[in-house]
C-alpha cells in the first residue's frame, strides 16, 4: 500500500438491512416502498435469549449525504444494544434511555453538526410480552388491543439536534392478540392532490384489519396509501408491525 493510500480515509460502509428474526409467540415484519428508501432505515437484532431489539430512523437527505449517519447509527444500535441488554438484571427502560443517548452522540459525530433524525426503537420481551421503547420525534406508534387503538407519542426530541439531551423511555404491554404498528413520515404525509393520508387513516386500517399476520398488516397499510395517492411516490414509506399471538 502506498503512502497516499495509507493517508486516505477508510471508505464509509453502506448500512445493511438484516433479516427479521423469528419470535416465540409473536411475529415481527416490515415492508418498504418508494424510491427514497435509504432515508427510512430500520434494523433488527436479538440481544438476549428472550429479547429482540428493533429500530427505525428517518434521516433526511440523499444516500451520499446520510450514508455515514446510517452506518454509524447501525453500528451503535447493534453494538450498544447488545452490550446494554447483555447485562444481568438490566432494567429495560434504563437500557433504552442509554441507547437513545448513544445513538444521538453517534449521529452528531457522524454528521459533524446538526442533522435531525427522528427515531423509534423498541425491545420486545418474549417472556413478558412487553415492549420497552423510546420515540425520538418519530411518528406516534399505534397499539391495538381490546380497548381500541392508542398512540405511543414522542418521549424525546429527534436525535441529532443537541449534544446534551435528557432521554426518556416507556413501556407498554402487548396482551395476547395485540398489535404494535409503526409507520414512517412518508406514509402519513402521502398526498392525493393537497390532502395528506394522515395518521387517522393509518388508525382506520389498523382498526379494520382482521389479519393476525404482521406482514399482511404492513402490506395492507402500504396498499391503502398507494391507492390513496394514485401515483408513484419518490418518498420512502415504511411500515413495521409486531403482533402477539392470540
Question: What are the pLDDT tens digits along the chain (246 aa)?
Answer: 555 444 444 444 544 456 678 999 999 999 988 765 456 788 999 999 999 999 999 987 666 678 889 999 999 999 999 999 988 888 999 999 999 999 999 999 998 888 899 999 999 999 999 999 999 999 999 999 999 999 999 999 999 999 888 899 999 999 999 999 999 999 999 999 889 999 999 999 999 998 889 999 999 999 999 999 987 766 789 999 999 998
198 within a domain of the structure (yes/no)? yes
102 within a domain of the structure (yes/no)? yes
pLDDT of 36 = 53
7 within a domain of the structure (yes/no)? no
174 within a domain of the structure (yes/no)? yes
Domain that holds residue 69: 14-244
2 within a domain of the structure (yes/no)? no
Burial class (CB in 10 A: 0-12, 13-18, 19+), 112: exposed
> What secondary structure does DSSP assign to 149-206, as a single string?
EEEE--SBPPBTS-SS-----EEEE--TT-EEEEE-HHHHT-EETTEE-HHHHHHHHH
Q: Are the CB atoms for 135 and 151 separated by under 8 Å?
A: no
CATH code (residue 210): 3.60.40.10
240 within a domain of the structure (yes/no)? yes
Instruction: Count how many domains the chain has.
Output: 1
Strands in 26-33's sheet, in edge-to-edge order, are 26-33, 237-244, 179-183, 141-145, 148-152
pLDDT of 234 = 64
9 within a domain of the structure (yes/no)? no
Contacts of 239 (CB under 8 A, 6+ apart): 30, 31, 181, 182, 183, 184, 187, 217, 218, 221, 222
The helix/strand/coil state of 30 is: strand
Of 66, 59, 54, residue with least CA distance to 17:
54
Of 54, 49, 48, residue with least CA distance to 18:
54
8 within a domain of the structure (yes/no)? no
Q: What pTM, to 2 d.p., does this model score?
A: 0.89
Amino acid at each position: 500500500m502506498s503512502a497516499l493510500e495509507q493517508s486516505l480515509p477508510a471508505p464509509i460502509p453502506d448500512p445493511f438491512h438484516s433479516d427479521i428474526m423469528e419470535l416465540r409467540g409473536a411475529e415481527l415484519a416490515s415492508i418498504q416502498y418508494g424510491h427514497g428508501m435509504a432515508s427510512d432505515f430500520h434494523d433488527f437484532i436479538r440481544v438476549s435469549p428472550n429479547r429482540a431489539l428493533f429500530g427505525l430512523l428517518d434521516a433526511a437527505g440523499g444516500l451520499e449525504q446520510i450514508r455515514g449517519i446510517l452506518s454509524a447509527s447501525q453500528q451503535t444500535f447493534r453494538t450498544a444494544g447488545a452490550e446494554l441488554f447483555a447485562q444481568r438484571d438490566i432494567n429495560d427502560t434504563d437500557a433504552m434511555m442509554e441507547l437513545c443517548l448513544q445513538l444521538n452522540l453517534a449521529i452528531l459525530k457522524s454528521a459533524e453538526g446538526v442533522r435531525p433524525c427522528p427515531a423509534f426503537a423498541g425491545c420486545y420481551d418474549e417472556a413478558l410480552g412487553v415492549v420497552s421503547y423510546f420515540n425520538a420525534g418519530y411518528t406516534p406508534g399505534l397499539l391495538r388491543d381490546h380497548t381500541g387503538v392508542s398512540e405511543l407519542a414522542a418521549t424525546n426530541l429527534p436525535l441529532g439536534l443537541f449534544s446534551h439531551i435528557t432521554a426518556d423511555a416507556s413501556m407498554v404491554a402487548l396482551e395476547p392478540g395485540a398489535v404494535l404498528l409503526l409507520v414512517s413520515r412518508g406514509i402519513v404525509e402521502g398526498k392525493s392532490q393537497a390532502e395528506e393520508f394522515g395518521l387517522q387513516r393509518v388508525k382506520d386500517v389498523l382498526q379494520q384489519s382482521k389479519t393476525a399476520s404482521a406482514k399482511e398488516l404492513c402490506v395492507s397499510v402500504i396498499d391503502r396509501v398507494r391507492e390513496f395517492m394514485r401515483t408513484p411516490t419518490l418518498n420512502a414509506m415504511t411500515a413495521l408491525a409486531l403482533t402477539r399471538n392470540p
